[in-house]
Amino acid sequence: MNKKTNLILITLGIVVLSIIPNCKKGAATATLASDAASRVYVAPGEKDEVYAFLSGGFSGQMSVYGIPSARLFKIIPVFSVFPENGYGFDEETKDMLKTTHGYVPWDDSHHVEASMTDGKQDGRWMFLNANNTPRLARIDLKSFETKEILEIPNTAGNHASPFATENTEYLMAATRFSVPVPQASVPIDSFSKGGFKGTVTMVKVDKNTGRLSIELQVLVPGFDYDLSHCGKKKSHDWCFFSSYNSEQAHKMLEVGASKKDKDFILAFNWVRAKECKDQGKAYNFGGEYVNNFREENKPAVSTKLSGVKMLNPKDCPGMMYYMPTPKSPHGTDVDSTGEYIVGGGKLASVIPVHSFSKMIEVKDKKEHHSTEIDGIPVLKYESTLAGEVQKPCLGPLHTEFDGQGYAYTSCFVSSEVVKWKLGTWEVVQHLPAYYSVGHLSIVGGSSTEPYGKYLIAMNKITKDRFLPVGMELPQSAQLYDISSGKAELLSDFPTVGEPHYSQMIPAKLIMDKTAKLYPLEENKHPYATKTENEAKIVKLGSTTHIYMTAIRSHFKPDIIEARTGETLYFHVTNLEQDYDIPHGFAIGGAPNMTNLLIMPGETRTFKWVAPKPGVYPFYCTDFCSALHQEMQQYIRVSP
């Protein structure tokens, strides 16, 4: 271990030792509510108050819980295949997972964002990022299904994403892993010489349809852009991005990217960027990407696209500013008034809070600039600082707001959430988290009108919280009641994958809008069969299309003849028009294929290449009636 590494470790040790004795001085701690069981209990037949949408991390999906019960209702397949219902396997959804790299059946989904109108959650869509193969997804909250996935070009590691502007005009995406832009085989040590770059991408959201398109990309210095939140009210025109590794280290980042006392929060005026583009200051730039869209009850369509408009900060003065922020900031969170921008420095001994008003006042005054990086002025730390929360905890990460003047910050190292007062920067309570908390979520906590009441802490380490299930444990989460002056712990619950962020929304904004079935008369699928009398088999050379119906408790056609090597497409339409009567479809031994789950009025397609001669059963996999077992038939394969 070299002297530089020793120095860093010693410094961190001093910081830790200096904070621990003071962390909880003068502040209350959260305890388990004495009536916790009754407060999380939802009686049979009753409904939860809140939907919680959690990212799945390395699962690539999104999970839906009810709060306060913490019951898991649904896993929404997004970036990963899902054998439970056939997502990513059948002819309708497999193109949702196409990219410029080919078919990618997995991703690392980190951040959930809710659509908003006037800064308030509107219950229309959820958005989710893909960190590994840069993409954004839109989930329709009528069907709770993924409708669109847009690939992001000229980037790597789409982490600071998909954070929305106040009216969901745009979603933001920024580069975590800076790379050569455009891509090229260059020495990796050229990173430290400015040879790698990042991009900030403005993804336009159609206000009526939700369709996604790339408006603009901005070329930025090759730091690692980590997280983002957009402004509110007075800061409506701005979005803020945390960054680390301003050292531009290219090896042993835990040392090389931890040398400086401060990294940056990037303040980005997206309205100004759009103005510069409209004035012709953006230039044509390459970049291949795809847009995958699935219209309701139709096969997904994957469209290859090429080229974007690229903007250089030097060509658009007043668009971007760096605000120095200690140290390796992770979270960058904007309070409900739009005034305060809170940084979460992973290695910082304070929680720094920037003032939007101060930033606006000094941003164009040279005496408040310390330097400039690639056309982006660096403002002086003290010039934008509203205040610092002193010695709050160890490892502050993310902050949410309750709308009552309090902020809640997660602290990974000391396994707690600290509650502190905006304006006075005083810590008023410590909430234990079990263990090593990452993200937080408050109902509406990132909107202009937080609903409050509940807070979820999403933890990274589980250890002894649940019954042991071998070496791989579920990630734990804690639910707190924050409706009174003192937060109280209500429950623990396991989660799916590794949640990084979530959105909680009052159930009343969504529950009455959800679809119950697909009306058969509106089914526009090209292979839909709307009555049993229309069921048929159409042979076209070595390809056969089976227009099949499913209804309690049989399929039509029910006897299928095929020859070895023949390709069969089973287009199965569920004729049911009752709520919660899906049908399944599976063929025994089908390789590279799974069960299909077909909703009432929906058409899904199972592709099967007839194997060696024999008789192969097919059947309904979803228990639908007293004669469910009888919903089975055969395919005869001849030489």
Q: Cis peptide leading into 468, omega within 30 of 0?
A: no
For residues 322 and 342, state if they share a domain. Answer: yes
pLDDT value of position 192: 87
For residues 588 and 508, state if they share a domain. Answer: no
Task: Taking residues 44-48, report their average pLDDT.
Answer: 98
For residues 487 and 572, state if they share a domain. Answer: no
Query: Which residues have a Cβ under 8 Å from the Cβ of 492 and sit 6 or more positions away?
Result: 434, 465, 466, 476, 477, 478, 479
- Structural contact between residues 381 and 416, judged by C-beta atoms closer than 8 angstroms: no
Q: How many CB atoms lie within 10 A of CB 405?
A: 13
- Structural contact between residues 554 and 596, judged by C-beta atoms closer than 8 angstroms: no
Task: Taking residues 45-68, report their average pLDDT.
Answer: 98
For residues 621 and 502, state if they share a domain. Answer: no
Answer yes or no: is pLDDT of 116 > 60.
yes
- Structural contact between residues 630 and 619, judged by C-beta atoms closer than 8 angstroms: no
Residue whose entry in the numeric block shows the structure tokens 């990132």:
446
- Structural contact between residues 371 and 304, judged by C-beta atoms closer than 8 angstroms: no
Query: Which residues have a Cβ under 8 Å from the Cβ of 270 and sit 6 or more positions away?
Result: 165, 170, 172, 202, 230, 237, 238, 239
Confidence of residue 193 (pLDDT cuts 50, 70, 90): confident
Parent domain of 529: 520-638
For residues 164 and 222, state if they share a domain. Answer: yes
Of 462, 484, 513, which marks where a domain is finished? 513
pLDDT value of position 607: 98
Range 590-596, long-range pairs (CB < 8 A, 24+ positions) = 592/89, 593/89, 594/81, 594/83, 594/86, 594/89, 595/83, 595/84, 595/85, 595/86, 595/621, 596/85, 596/86, 596/89, 596/90, 596/572
Answer yes or no: is pLDDT of 29 > 90.
no
Tell me the average pLDDT of the chain: 95
For residues 494 and 556, state if they share a domain. Answer: no
Rounded to whole angstroms, how far apart are CA atoms 170 and 204?
5
Of 453, 482, 513, which marks where a domain is finished? 513
Rounded to whole angstroms, how far apart are CA atoms 441 and 401?
9
Give tens-digit pLDDT for 370-420: 999 999 999 999 999 999 999 999 999 999 999 999 999 999 999 999 999
For residues 489 and 530, state if they share a domain. Answer: no
For residues 169 and 46, state if they share a domain. Answer: yes
For residues 18-43, one letter each, b for 16 or more C-beta atoms within 10 angstroms of the residue's C-beta and e for the rest, the string is: ebeeebbeeeeebeebeebeeebeee
pLDDT value of position 18: 38
pLDDT value of position 389: 98
Phi, psi at residue 368, to the nearest 5°? -100, 10
- Structural contact between residues 60 and 109, judged by C-beta atoms closer than 8 angstroms: yes
For residues 459 and 576, state if they share a domain. Answer: no
**And the tokens for 379?**
């403002």
For residues 250 and 273, state if they share a domain. Answer: yes
pLDDT value of position 66: 99
For residues 402 and 538, state if they share a domain. Answer: no
Confidence of residue 9 (pLDDT cuts 50, 70, 90): very low
Task: Taking residues 469-480, report their average pLDDT.
Answer: 97
Rounded to whole angstroms, how far apart are CA atoms 481 and 416?
15
Task: Taking residues 263-282, report their average pLDDT.
Answer: 99
Answer yes or no: is pLDDT of 261 > 60.
yes
Task: Taking residues 529-546, report their average pLDDT.
Answer: 98
Answer yes or no: is pLDDT of 340 > 80.
yes
> What is the CATH number for 61?
2.130.10.10
> What is the CATH number for 569?
2.60.40.420
Task: Taking residues 112-124, report their average pLDDT.
Answer: 98
Percent of the residues in the chain that have a pLDDT greater than 70, as a whole number: 96
Of 513, 540, 563, which marks where a domain is finished? 513
pLDDT value of position 49: 98
Pairing of β 427-432 and β 28-29: parallel
Q: Does the pTM of the predicted model rise above 0.75?
A: yes
Answer yes or no: is pLDDT of 298 > 80.
yes
Rounded to whole angstroms, how far apart are CA atoms 254 and 245?
9
Confidence of residue 26 (pLDDT cuts 50, 70, 90): low
For residues 139 and 198, state if they share a domain. Answer: yes
- Structural contact between residues 95 and 301, judged by C-beta atoms closer than 8 angstroms: yes
Number of domains making up the chain: 2
**And the tokens for 244?**
């680390």
Give tens-digit pLDDT for 547-588: 999 999 999 999 999 999 999 999 999 999 999 999 999 999
Q: How many CA atoms lie within 13 A of 517 on its CB side?
A: 16
